[in-house]
Structure formats: structure tokens, C-alpha cells
Structure 1
Amino acid sequence: MNPNETLQLYQNKGQVKKCFGTEGNGAGEMILPHGISSTASDDIVVADCGNNRIQIFDVNGQVKGAFGSGGSAEGQFAGVFDVCVTSRGHIVASDTGNNRIQVFDEQGKFVREFGREESGPEWRDGELSGPQGVATDDRGQIYVCDKWNDRVQVFSEDGKFVRKFGFGTLSRPNYLSVTYYGAVVVSDWVGNRVPIFDGVGNGSSVIGIEEFHFNDPQGIATDQHGHIILCDGGSNQVQVFRPDTGELVCRFGSGMHKPQGVCVLSDGGIAVCDRDHHRVVIF
């Protein structure tokens, strides 16, 4: 896609199409929503972090389901930070306080967990410390920001360790996204930048060193053309970058406060967790 086509695609993205959610613990209410993802049918899956649950909405913001509660048993959370949906329709959630990943079917039924620390003070491959962002690729592999270990770990769909990368490059990674061509884009919280890795974890480029200075980079997504869509929590904006040059395409989102998770819907709409307003905004 050339620059003119990119500008045309994103020139109207600052307009709010839909907004839903308010503070509370009732159906459709949220407390500090963090991660967000969408299903094949464009249902919107939200990590309702402050309520230790996951809520599912249709594109009009109507509640279709909810599951989860506080705790450490199967299906319970100690801060559900992020969610993604696999090609099989399974919902993957980072259970940050319990140092694990949980997987559920489309109805919210528990399927499996993995990543919980078991070996003492040293974390081994496959074990997680404060996992946050999660993403999946077209093979069903699950990518996890292993935040306090400063790395990304990759697992098979059934939760077996595959590989790791990013140690020495990443500093408290928050969120990540896998592009259609297999690159892995990570929001590096302490480094205030966005490293981009190839499919096996080799670093290829970085956004944010000189050209752009982020302030609290958070949720990150990529569209079908590879454009990088980043929530910059400190500036309360969504920023869009070209995948080939890292050039800034546009900024939008005035009126949000601490935007967190972001995902792209099938019609090109961009859904964002407006964290401190306890709602979801679709642009």
C-alpha cells in the first residue's frame, strides 16, 4: 500500500463510531479494562481487569457473555490483563497475578492453563513472571509478554514451550501483535519504543528511538496491511505507523484517558480500551 492509499485509509479514523461501558461491576460495566480482541464474527472480547473477568460484547456494545472471578482456581483471575482469540475460537487470557495463561472455549469454559512458576526463584523456559500481553498467529501459536523476565515466550496451542526472544532488547514488554507476514511487534514500556522482531525472534527494526518519543506505550495491533497501531498511554492517543518505514501516519483519540488494549475489526474499525473512563471506544 502506497503512502496516499494509507492516508486515505486512515484519514477519518479519529471519528468515534461507538462507545460503550461505564464504571461498575454489573453486566456491561467495567473497572479499568485493559486488553481487547475480536472473534471471527466481530464479537469484542474485553479483559475487565478490575472485575477479574472477561466480558464479550457484540459490535453494538450489547453484552453476550461474561466469565471469571477473583482467585487462583481454574477460571479465576488475579488481574486479567490481556486477551486474544485463536483461529479455533479459543480465548487466551493473561492471568498476571497468578503468573499463568488460561485458555477458554467460545462459551467461557476452561480448557487449560500453562506458565505458572514452579521452580523457585529462577524462572525456567515455559514459566512466566507477571505475564501481560498475549497474541496468536495463524498457526495457533501463543505469544506472551513475560514482563518481569524482559522477554517474549512462544507456546504451542496446547501450551508447550516453543521458543523465547527479546532478552537484552526488551525492558518490561507490555503488549504485542503478530502481523500477517509473521513479524512480532512489541510495546516496550520502560524503553518507550516499539521493537519489531522477525518470525524467529531476531530484531529487525525499532520505532521510537529518535523519530518519535512515546510516553507509556501500551496496547498494540496491526491491520491487514501491516500498519502498526499503538496506544500511547501518556499522550492519551492512538498512533498509526507504516510497517515498511515506521513513518507516522496519524494520531487520534483526544478525550481518552490512559488507552490500553487495541484491536482491529473486520470492517477496519479500531476498538480501544479507554481504561480510566472504564469503557470501549470504536473509531
Structure 2
Amino acid sequence: MKVDTPCLELKKTIPISGVPGPPVLSVSSIVLAPDGSIYFSDEYNHRIVVLNAEGEFIRAQGGRGAGAGEFWYPRGLALADVNNTTMLVVCDAWNHRIQMFDLDGNYLSEFGSIGEGEENFNEPVSVISDMEGGLWILDRCNHRIKRHRADGGLLSTFGKGMTMAQEEEKNNPVNILLENIGAETGFHYPMDFIQLADGSFLIVDTGNHRLVNVSQEGAALRSIRMDIEEKPPFSYPFTVSPVMGDVVIVGLLNAQSVLLDINNPWMRAGARLNSEPGRSRLAPAWKLKGGAPELVVADSKRLVIDRYELALVENPLAPSAPQAELPGGASLAEIPGRWDKIDRHDWGLYLKRGDRPEADMELALKYLDSCKRSASVAAQILIEVEGELCQMTPPLYNARDRVRLGGMNAEDFEKARMEVARAALSFSGALEKRTALRWRLIKDIAAAVDLLAIDGKAGHWTKERSAFADLLKSEYGQREKDFVETVKWIREKFSRPDSVGMEIVTNAFAVIFFLLDHLNYLIAAISKLDRSFMEPDTLKDDKRVLAELVKELKGDVRNVTNEPEKLLGLLCERWGFFETAQAAYTRKAERNHKSSEVYARLLTGLLQKTGELEKAKQILDRFAPKDVSKTTTAGIWERHMRVQKIMTQDPPLSITLSQG
């Protein structure tokens, strides 16, 4: 795979000269005017400085303040053409506003103030103008991008604050990696962004150590990790500038700037600028009349402007294949942390392109073997962690139940609250570990499936695809057996009210939660490799019923410990174990807790369903509000009362209606 990409050659260094007042401390942003003059934001001196093409001082404007034309840490700059007039747009970061000036430095207008609303900003740091006169603004501490008209009117907005750990917890890897459903992606204190040739944006997601490519509607297209391993020293990207084609230069706070091909992300190398890390700002590459393309870099420590000429050479960044050694090993410790976020992805991109030359076949086999071994390790540890979580659910439920029940003196109540906190903390720690392992496992499976499924269309990998599908089917068979045996045990226990304790219930639902998850991702993976695969009919009914109940948990197994009586009652109603359901609802309704009314309504509905109308009347008399019209649950109580009235008529209304 041959890729021509740019390299940089320093052609000229121009001293920044004649700037009055305090020395330039920090160049935060730099833009070039059509006549070659240079505008930069001197952030720590709260001003904008204008130089000619030779670095000579023309003027400075601003000063610290909040008035018109004053700044408080100005950052991003852009030139915008609005109504046939070119304006300088300034992100006045700590005044949380956007100011606009003509090219002579005269103040024109402003918009924005601090806050989280549509018209607000919280530290705008970068701005891009578009062909329609719109302004795209990176609102750093609100973790979003907004598009405004030049008069300040909001056109669109997208983005939210999310760390990568929060993304993993919120998104389901089965949907994203195996079913191609878009992920919900956020940003964590982004510092810069650029617009690519296709109109999408490349965002420097500094707090997450990555670049994120998003559409103009905010849909995540891809991400590029700047760290391979999540351990110090971390890479903190803070600037990005287009260079040529799909190659960008990424400035890092604590390391050398990096040239990166965003379509071949394994092709990266140090940019070899003369500036120290974190001390330079780059203007987008531009082309002088009659000359070669240039990259203009402002260095605030050396107080110079460096001009680099760009030239195309064949593969200056790296050889055509990724060079990092393929990971994988016998234990989790041998697998570099989060290698799958960058190296594995890079290998996948490389191996999926076109027909495989013979030289790549050995690499592809190693890649597949690495994915399988890593998945095996993750699966083994994941099952162990899920076992620990199942054992933790009863103690957590008991601790919470004691606090909910109350009736203790202040000292005992405080001890009970601390017990809940300790149990919840341990549970959350194990759950975070499960989330990370689950993502690792499904990413490994999806990587292998993706490569094998695509290659299958071209007639390659028939043997490997069949072998991997058989491996997944074997795992599915084991999980299916576990599910059937667990459901059989639960049915036996739940059929007898005297054998059902809440410890059993919480443990049982946690086991079902995890087993359903394993079955779902295995079905999704196998179906991509073998379209003839069908889920066994013997599994469908119980799986459907239990999957509907698991939805009550809203994707969080911790909710098993909140209202297990409700889950127990609903399941037993579905299975016809009405005595057990009645016992579960009654237990909760009679505890004088704030949720008693909820269980009283469930109990009323069950008693009416089973024809125990006298008991239903007693529950209505005891729990229904005197004036239901004034309650938020008026509709539910009124429905129960209407049903009770209809069913107790003599003769029953159903008979009257049938006789006309």
C-alpha cells in the first residue's frame, strides 16, 4: 500500500519584532490574512497582535477587561466573510463571548455570556467560519460545538461532557460493534478542532487523549487514540492543523508534535518542529502565489515565525503496514492497556483494505489469533467478575432494605447507612471492572468477525471463518445450557412461596441478567458469520419473558437490589405462580414504606385478575387515597375502582352484555 504524504522542511525563520509593551507570553491562535499579514492572540497579555508577512509589528488591540474590544484570555481566531466583508472573529475565552472586528481592528459586535444555555458559552476556545457565513464554535467547558450566525443567533449545537469510561458504561458494545448502531459519544474538555474536506470535524478531545471525527450533525465517525497504553506519561493533544490532504499535524502539551494521516492512523511520526512541546501554534497550511504550500508556526518562547515548506514524498511517516507488535498473551497483564483502542483498530483498517497480497496473509493470521487469545482471556476473567457480582447482590439488598425499613435509633441508622455505602462501593468497583472486560471481549470478537465476514464475500478465509463460527457456537451452547438450567431452578423455587427469599431473588436475577447478555452478543456475532444460524425454539419463550423483565433494570444490574419484589411478582404472574406473586406484593405493601402504594396497586390488579375480589376491596379501602383526583396516580386507582365495580355487579356486567 503506497501512500504519498507531506514532509516538512524549514525554509525561513522570521523574528517577531517591534511588538510594544510586555513580551509575548503565549500565542494561543494564529491566522493568516489574504495579504500575508499574521494575526495572533497573545493570550496572557489579553490582546490581539498583527504582524506583516515579515514578522514586523503593525498593531496590537485589546487589553484585559470585559468592555467592547477588551479581552480576558483571548484564544481561537478566524477570518469570516459576512455580507462581502471580512471580519476577525475572536474567542474571548474567560469573558465567555465571541467578539468581531474589521481588519483594521475596529470593534463591530459581540454575542454570548457564561452559562449552559443555547445563547451561552463556558470558555469558547476555537472558531471556524463556513461558506454560508456561519460560525462553528468549540465551547470547551460545556463540551460541545455550536453553530451561530454572525449576529449571534444559534443555528445548531451538539456534544456533551463524557469521559471514555462513561461512554463505555453508557453504550452497549453489542449494538455498536456487532449491529452497527451509532455510539453516543461525548468530549472531555476539548481544546481545538478543524473542518475536513468532506465537511466533518476533527476534534481535539484533550481530556480523553484522542481525536474524534464527527459529522456536522454530531454523529461520531471514528476516533484516533493518541495513547496506546493508559499509563503515564499520557499524551495530551491540544491543537490540530490541516497540512495536506488527510494529513494533519497534532500539537501535544507534553511531547513532540505529530504528523498523522487520519485515514491511515498507524502512519504517524514526529513533526520535527523547532519549537518545544506546548510552545507553538500553527496556522492551517496555505499556498503563496506562485510558490509551494507552506506551514506557518508561531513560537512564543523563541519569539519567531517559522515557515515550513511542504513536499509530497512516498511513505515518509511509516511503512505501509503498522509496525507495532501485535498484542495478545496468556494473561490480562500481558496485554497492553487499551491496545485495542488504537493498535488493533489500525491493524484492522490495514488488513481490510482490498485483496490481501501474499505478504499480508501471515500478518492477518497473527491478527486473528491475537483477537481470539485476547477474547479468551477477557471472557475467563469476565465470568469470574460476574460471579463475584452475583454474590454481592444479596448483601447489598439486605443493607439497603434495613435502611429503607427504618425503626432504628440514630446510631444504628448511621451504621446501617455506612454498611450500604461500603457494599455499594465494592459493587460499583466490580461493575466497572466488568464493563471494561465486556468491552474488551466484544471488541476482540467484533474485530475478528468484521475481518472474516468482509473477506468471506471475496472467497477468502472460508476455513478460518468456519472455525471461528464453530468456536462461538460452542460458547453459545454452554451459555444456553447454563440459561436453561438456571431457569429450571428458578421455576422450581418460585413455584413455592415458602421457598422464596429476597437473597435468592436478587442472586437469580443477577445471574439471568449476565446470561442474557452473553447470549445476545454471541447470537449477534454468529449471525454475521453464519446467516443460517437460528436461536433454538426451546429457548425463545423463557428468554423473551425474562428479557422483558430485565428491561426494568434499565441496563444496570445494580437495580436488581432496588425492587426485587417487583421483579419477582411480575415474573411469577407471567409464569402463573400467583401465590408467590401475591406474597411478594403483600410483603412490600405492608411495610409502610414510600413504595407501599405502588405494591398495593400491583396487588390489587393481581387479586382482581385471580377473582379474589374481597381481598382486592380490602386493599383498595386501605391504600387508595380518599380523593384520588388529587394524586399523580389518579388514573391507575380509578381504573382499579372501575374494574372492582364491574366485577362485583350482580349479575356480572359481562353476562348482561352477552344477553343484550
Shorter-chain TM-score bucket reads: 0.7 to 0.9
Distance in 2 between the 1:188 and 1:166 partners?
13
1:243 paired to 2:310: yes
Q: 1:36 aligns with which of 65, 71, 77?
A: 77
1:69 equivalent to 2:113? Answer yes
Structure 1 match to 2:243 = 179
Measure, in 2, the Cα distance between the counterparts of 1:234 and 1:105: 36
Q: Secondary structure at the match of 1:94?
A: strand
Query: Does the CA contact (< 8 Å) of 1:82 and 1:132 recur in 2?
Result: yes
Whether 2:140 is the aligned partner of 1:110: answer: no
Taking the aligned partners of 1:4 and 1:92, their CA distance within structure 2 comes to 32
In the TM superposition, residue 154 of structure 1 has moved relative to its aligned partner by 1.4
1:196 corresponds in structure 2 to 259
Distance in 1 separating the partners of 2:10 and 2:117: 51
Asked if 1:86 corresponds to 2:86, the answer is no
In our comparison, the structure showing a higher alpha carbon Rg is: 2
Kept after mapping to 1: 8 A contact 2:296/2:306: yes
Q: Is the 8 A contact 2:252 2:277 kept in 1?
A: no
Shift, 1:236, TM fit: 4.5
* CA shift in 2, pair 1:56/1:213, >3 Å: closer
Which residue of 4, 9, 21 maps to 2:62?
Answer: 21
Amino acid at match of 1:239: D
Q: CA RMSD in A?
A: 3.1
Distance 1:243 1:69, change over 3 A: same
Per mean C-alpha deviation after superposition, the further-off stretch among 84-93 and 61-70 is 84-93
Is contact 1:94-1:133 (8 Å) kept?
A: yes
- How far 1:60 sits from its partner (Å)? 0.6
Matched letter for residue 223 of structure 1? A
**In 2 relative to 1, CA 21–120 (structure 1 residues): closer, same or farther, beyond 3 Å?**
same
Mark the runs of 5 or more structure 1 residues left unpaired by the alignment. Answer: 246-283
Aligned to 1:253: none
Distance in structure 2 (CA, Å) of the matches to 1:29 and 1:42: 20
User: In the TM superposition, what whole-angstrom CA distance separates every residue of 1:140-188 from its partner, at most 9, and x where no partner exists?
Assistant: 2122110011111111122222222143278211121223533222211
In structure 1, what is the equivalent of residue 282 of structure 2? 220
Moved more, 150-159 or 109-118: 109-118
Match of 1:130 among 176, 189, 197: 189
Equivalent pairs, count:
241
- Quote how far apart the aligned CAs of 1:213 are: 4.7
Please give the secondary structure, in 1, of the residue aligned with 2:207.
Answer: helix
Are 2:206 and 1:147 equivalent residues in the alignment? yes
Q: Verify the 8 A CA contact 2:68 2:107 in the aligned structure 1.
A: yes
How far apart, CA to CA, are the structure 2 residues paired with 1:197 and 1:54?
31
Distance in 2, matches of 1:162 and 1:244, equals 29
Whole-angstrom distance in 1 between the partners of 2:64 and 2:225: 36
Confirm or deny that 1:229 pairs with 2:314.
no
The correspondence of residues 41-56 of structure 1 with structure 2, limited to 5 A, is 41-56=85-100
* 1:75-122 CA-partner distances (Å, limit 9, x unpaired): 212211111112333211111111112221232211222220368952
Relative to the length of structure 1, the TM-score reads 0.74
Look up the equivalent residue of 1:240 and give its one-letter code: R
Task: Please list every run of 5 or more consecutive structure 2 residues that lacks an aligned counterpart in the other structure.
Answer: 1-8, 15-35, 38-51, 169-182, 229-233, 288-292, 313-660
Whole-Å Cα distance in 1 between the matches of residues 283 and 190 of structure 2?
Answer: 18
CA distance 1:46–1:12, shift in 2 (3 Å): closer
d(CA) in 2 for partners of 1:144 and 1:120? 15
Contact 1:215 1:232 in 2 (8 A): no
Give the aligned partner of residue 257 of structure 1. none
Distance 1:171 1:215 in 2: 11
Q: Is the 8 A contact 1:103 1:112 kept in 2?
A: yes
In the alignment, the residues of structure 2 paired with residue 171 and residue 230 of structure 1 have an alpha-carbon distance, to the nearest angstrom, of 21
- Percentage of pairs with the same residue: 21
> Offset at 1:4?
11
Question: Is the contact made by 2:226 and 2:237 (CA closer than 8 Å) also made in structure 1?
Answer: no
Structure 1 residue 15: Cα displacement: 0.9
Asked whether the 8 Å contact 2:77–2:89 carries over to 1, the reply is yes
User: How far is the alpha carbon of 1:231 from its aligned partner?
Assistant: 3.4
In 2, distance between residues paired with 1:174 and 1:119?
A: 16
Structure 2 CA distance, aligned partners of 1:133 and 1:32? Answer: 15
What corresponds to 2:101 in structure 1? Answer: 57
Match of 2:311, SS state, is: coil
Cα pair 1:117 1:123 within 8 Å, conserved:
no
SS at match of 1:240: strand
Show CA shifts across 1:167-221 (max 9, x none). 3278211121223533222211111x2212224252343223xx63514235321
CA contact (8 A) 2:13 2:306 kept: no
Q: 1:163 aligns with which of 200, 210, 222?
A: 222
CA distance in 2 between partners of 1:206 and 1:199 (Å): 15
Q: Which structure is higher in strand share? A: 1
Tell me, what secondary structure is at the counterpart of 1:122?
helix
Task: Please list the CA deviations of residues 13-68 of structure 1 after superposition, one character each: whole Å capped at 9, or x if unmatched.
Answer: 21123322222111111111011111145311111012000111111111222111
Change (3 A) 1:218 1:6: closer
Given residue 309 of structure 2, which amino acid in structure 1 is its aligned partner?
R
Q: Is 1:205 matched with 2:246?
A: no
